[in-house]
Amino acid sequence: MARTVILSAAGGPENLEVVDRPVGEPGPGEVRIAHRACGLNFIDIYQRTGLYPMQLPHPLGMEAAGVVEAVGDGVTHLKPGDRAAYAANPPGAYAEARVMPAAQVCPLPDEIAFDQAAAMMLKGMTVEYLFHRTTPLTAGDTVLFHAAAGGVGLIACQWARSEGITLIGTAGTDEKCRLALDHGASHCINYRDAGWVAKVRELTGGKGVDVVMDAVGADTFEGSLDSLKPLGMLISFGNASGPVPPFNIGILGQKGSLKVTRPTLFTHIADHDACQAMAGHLFDKVVKGAVEIRIDQRFPLEQVADAHRALEARQTTGSTVLEL
């Protein structure tokens, strides 16, 4: 049996319940992992509220780290006793232990602590695909990154610095802006200032940025388009303020032949080899010290509802973990 967080019905954090649940044995292609820490992400909120529908009741959580207890037939990259971490479907990471598909579970280097790994797998591999698998980015390019003081944002700030990319961040308070700057952002703008688009233009000499990376969604979409240079790309990868409403695609031509894409991490990691390569790239950045994983909030598993409230209210910085 393992303590597991179950979502009983779509809605508020009060619908999250901690129950004892049987774990079972791994079948072919599966692994049983005993967690040491679990990570929180906005996708958990999207699933909890029903924005991303699931068949309910269902366990929640998309990333965790721990020790492999058993492997099923056909699993060759992991063995019992291995340290491991993952970001993967199906949800179920808010638990002491679980059985899950093994393909997206990654061997964890000894140099990386379990809580670090639980805080970085989904966020860090998201940054990896944003910078390396979505559109070509090279040293000297300029990126606008919204929510730069969040879990994904602070990794992105450091990643950009390590790649020689100029990152202009936005954040909701001056304190969060300072945090982004401390982690490698070249500039940071308080997006509650109505003139943030003009500030982006000023910082780029009127040209605009090469790429916008936007996980905020509805509140920033139009300003993100207006921050791009001609032929620039908007990567819309989240909906923290709500989903982007329908828009006239012709506006992309009017604003400079712009490009828009809506990728997800889970498309990128669906292939086992690609997932392992992405995780390896992330691990290398962390082990070499180019990226530091900042954990600013810790909650016991039983306080998962409070953790959701804090994340949803944008009261957090860096990453949040559930401790077991």
Summarised one tens digit per residue, pLDDT across range 260-276 is 999 999 999 999 999 99
CA distance 85 to 98: 13
Give the per-residue pLDDT at 15: 97
Question: Domains of the chain by range and CATH?
Answer: 2-123+266-323 (3.90.180.10), 135-262 (3.40.50.720)
pLDDT (0 to 100) of residue 82: 98
The answer, yes or no, to whether the previous bond of 57 is cis (omega within 30 of 0) is yes
Calculate ∠ Cα 286-288-289, nearest 5°.
Answer: 65
Average pLDDT, rounded, for the chain: 96
pLDDT at 194 over 90: no
> For 225-254, what is the mean pLDDT?
96
**Arithmetic mean of pLDDT, 99-128:** 98
What per-residue confidence (pLDDT) applies to 141? 98
- pLDDT tier, 134 (very low <50, low <70, confident <90, very high otherwise): very high
Question: Residue 50's closest CA among 60, 64, 40?
Answer: 60
Q: Give the Cα separation of 13 and 11 in Å (integer).
A: 7
- The answer to whether the Cα torsion of 182, 183, 185, 190 is positive or negative is negative
Query: How far is residue 35's CA from residue 33's CA, in Å, rounded to a whole number?
Result: 6
pLDDT of residue 13: 97
pLDDT digits (tens, 9 = 90+) for 32-75: 999 999 999 999 999 999 999 999 999 999 999 999 999 999 99
Average the pLDDT over 129-153 and give the result.
Answer: 97
Please state whether 90 falls in left (phi above 0), alpha (psi between -120 and 50) or beta. beta
- Which pLDDT score, from 0 to 100, does residue 73 have? 98
pLDDT of amino acid 240: 87
**Chain segment 276-314, per-residue pLDDT in tens:** 999 999 999 999 999 999 999 999 999 999 999 999 998
